[in-house]
Amino acid sequence: MPGLRALLWVTSYTTPRLPRVVDPLPPLEFLRTNVTGDDAVLRQLAELPTLRHLELEDVKNTDVVDHLVAPLRVLEIAGTGRDFPVARLAAIPALEAVRLNGIRAELDCAVFQALPGLVQLTVLNSKRIVNVEALLDCPALASSTFVNCGNPFKEDGKALFRSKGFANLPIDHSQAGRRGPTTGGRAVVTPGRPGTTTSPGRGR
């Protein structure tokens, strides 16, 4: 498969891990795979300097960043444990889009300040989010979406972001037990700064 540039590997209880089927991998630019503490998967990541878009599932507490050698532009991490080292994302400064799903560890948004080219941030199903005001200091950020993450912006979050020059800020929150219509815990932040770039897609 020398010409293969993208590979989406979906595993189940009956599907073998990727290294048992394809090893070594061709020079991929896109890869989606499970980690689940598999050293062979981590080895494959370390052998892919061509990667630009990486999606990892069932990461648990594995420090996957330590095994990445590619200048990634897009990274998705799903299914971590409470001790996953979120701060290690700062070691991938070329990132333009980050998608985090099911992050059980504390997610301090200050880490995104270390990503100068970050345009798009999506956080799903993650309840331990702190320091969201740090997103105000991400110069390239054009879109930030939080879904089913509780209420990380608190009641005065909208006013805070508007006071910093965010012209268009549709933020909606919902909490368990609150009366009236809810939005499924969705908060969308769209900076209206001049010269904002278009958010990158997920490449699929």
Give pLDDT, residue 154.
77
Residue 163 backbone dihedrals phi, psi, to 5 degrees: -65, -20
**pLDDT over 80 at 188, yes or no:** no
List the structure tokens of 131: 């320091």
Q: What digits encode the pLDDT tens for the residues 26-80?
A: 999 999 999 988 899 999 999 999 999 999 999 999 999 999 999 999 999 999 9
Say how far apart CA 181 and CA 15 lie, in whole Å: 42
Q: What is the DSSP string of 32-48?
A: EEE-TT-HHHHHHHHT-
Helix (H, G, I), strand (E, B) or coil at 185: coil
Q: What digits encode the pLDDT tens for the residues 122-177?
A: 999 999 999 999 999 999 998 888 889 988 887 677 677 667 665 444 444 433 33
Say how far apart CA 115 and CA 17 lie, in whole Å: 31
Residue 45 backbone dihedrals phi, psi, to 5 degrees: -60, -40
Give pLDDT, residue 196.
39
Domains of the chain and any CATH numbers: 26-189 (3.80.10)
Give pLDDT, residue 155.
67
Give pLDDT, residue 194.
38
Share in percent of the chain as helix, strand, coil (round to 5): 20, 20, 60
Least Cα distance to 52 among 115, 96, 114, 4 occurs for 96
Helix (H, G, I), strand (E, B) or coil at 86: helix
Residue indicated by tokens 């609150």? 178
Say if residue 71 is preceded by a cis peptide, omega within 30 of 0.
no
Q: What digits encode the pLDDT tens for the residues 65-82?
A: 999 999 999 999 999 999
**pLDDT over 70 at 181, yes or no:** no
Say how far apart CA 77 and CA 133 lie, in whole Å: 22
